[in-house]
Amino acid sequence: MSQNPSAWTHPWRRLRALSHITLLWHHRDHDEAYGITDFAAGTISLRSDLDQAGRRSTLLHECLHVERGPALAGVLAAREELRVRREAARILLPNIRAVGEALAWAHTLEEAAGELWVDVDTLRDRLDFLHPAELHYLRARLDDGQDARTVVGDAGDVGAWSA
């Protein structure tokens, strides 16, 4: 990994720092996955129909897989996937106040994710893995007593949107 700290937070710079990895593109009809890391071939493949936020989110996710190395199958692979999802969401959405502001004015999760320049899955992951202090902040920020558009549940899950 590069010694340049900005390479850690910018997915395309992070990929460039992984000089042994080649970026490929695949079509949805070839594979439904947004991104695929092939350790043996030294490739990351992104689905060609992703929008900019989707490419950014998926690329960082796949770069983290490369950096962490291959995982064993079964339960360990599932745990590794959760770790990567959590880390990617925290890297792309480090400022919980920015997340709170986007959720406060947005009418949908899609709209909030777009404002934050991530895909909806990454925003959901960030909300699923909140620190208790972040959960407290979001509950306070989003409970204005009149128009709480998002309900953050006990586990950090996002409830239904209401206008």
**pLDDT of 146 over the 70 cut:** no
Quick one: which of 27, 84, 94 has its CA closest to 58? Answer: 84
pLDDT at 147: 37
Treating both helix axes as pointing N-terminal to C-terminal, what angle do 75-92 and 52-68 enclose, rounded to 10 degrees? 130
pLDDT digits (tens, 9 = 90+) for 80-114: 999 999 999 999 999 999 999 999 999 999 999 99
Cα–Cα distance for residue pair 13/33, rounded to 1 Å: 22
**pLDDT of 130 over the 60 cut:** yes
Instruction: Specify the pTM.
Output: 0.84
Amino acid type, 39:
F
